């Protein structure tokens, strides 16, 4: 509950910061036009309230398009240095909000054939001689990286599986396969931007682990992907 509250606070805080500028402009314009303080402040408060209410409607699933999530995210990104937020705080907010909405909005079960497990190439061990980005099936399941375990999960659930070399590669894979459900693994930056980019496809994001730093021999717990698939698949 505490984590959920923190995510909500970040999300609504981003919207509040976004609404300050237009509301202040409206207030000053009306004040200069001679409408008086009271009639200048009322429209200002209406703007602030309207943006916050829109955020509440998105959080409750009444508004489904993620435009309001984008607004909060990019506002927090711009204000991140000023507010001294920890690294990737806005990105993790997007992932958490998206996952929560995907779970609460899930009114159907997906088939394995319309599901894509999408993972980054940095999960592959750097000493591996196989080019798994082009042919994941060439994986020898040696255990030095989690790809082998993920392929086993893919086989059990009969889903699509792809390894992306970057954001553009991931987008092309999604366009080619046209999945209805994506279970995606990536770093906070790639995952958050990817989630915002693939709407309206239902997406569950799983953060990879940086055991050796970013983009190098990263790791993911296969059980997290398996749990997501069990929740959403028939």
C-alpha span between 44 and 50 (Å, rounded): 10
pLDDT in tens, 90-120: 999 999 999 998 888 777 789 999 999 999 9
pLDDT in tens, 163-215: 999 889 999 999 999 999 999 999 999 999 999 999 889 999 999 999 988 88
> What mean pLDDT do residues 212-229 have?
92
Question: Quick one: pLDDT band at residue 60, thresholds 50, 70, 90?
Answer: confident
C-alpha span between 118 and 194 (Å, rounded): 11
Q: Model-level pTM? A: 0.90
Q: What is the CATH number of domain 109-232?
A: 3.40.50
> Please, what's the b/e burial string for 61-100 (b: 16 or more CB within 10 A of its CB; e: otherwise)?
eeeeebebbebbbebbeebeeeeeeeebebbbbbbbbbbe
Instruction: Indicate the average pLDDT of the chain.
Output: 92
Question: Quick one: pLDDT band at residue 63, thresholds 50, 70, 90?
Answer: confident
- pLDDT for the residue numbered 106: 74
Whether pLDDT at 154 is above 80: yes
Which carries the bigger pLDDT value, residue 39 or residue 3?
Answer: 39
The CATH 3.40.50 domain(s) of the chain lie at 109-232
Report DSSP state, residue 154. H
């Amino acid at each position: 509950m505490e984590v959920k509250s923190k995510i909500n606070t970040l999300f609504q805080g981003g919207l509040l910061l976004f609404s300050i500028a237009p509301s202040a402009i409206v207030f000053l314009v009306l004040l200069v036009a001679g409408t008086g303080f009271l009639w200048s402040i009322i429209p200002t408060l209406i703007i602030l309230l309207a943006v916050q209410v829109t955020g509440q409607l998105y959080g409750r699933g009444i508004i489904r398009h993620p435009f309001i999530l984008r607004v909060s995210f990019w506002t927090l990104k711009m204000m991140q240095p000023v507010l001294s937020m920890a690294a990737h705080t806005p990105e993790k907010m997007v992932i958490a909000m998206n996952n929560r909405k995907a779970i609460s909005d899930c009114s159907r079960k997906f088939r394995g054939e319309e599901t894509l497990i999408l993972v980054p190439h940095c999960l592959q061990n750097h000493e591996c001689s196989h080019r798994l980005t082009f042919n994941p099936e060439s994986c020898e399941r040696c255990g030095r990286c989690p790809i082998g375990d993920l392929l086993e999960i893919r086989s059990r659930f009969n889903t699509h599986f792809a390894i992306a070399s970057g954001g553009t590669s991931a987008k092309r894979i999604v366009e080619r396969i046209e999945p209805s459900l994506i279970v995606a693994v990536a770093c906070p930056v790639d995952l958050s931007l990817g989630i915002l980019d693939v709407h309206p496809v239902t997406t569950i994001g799983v953060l990879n682990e940086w055991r050796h730093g970013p983009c190098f021999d990263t790791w993911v717990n296969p059980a997290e992907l398996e749990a997501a698939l069990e929740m959403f698949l028939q």
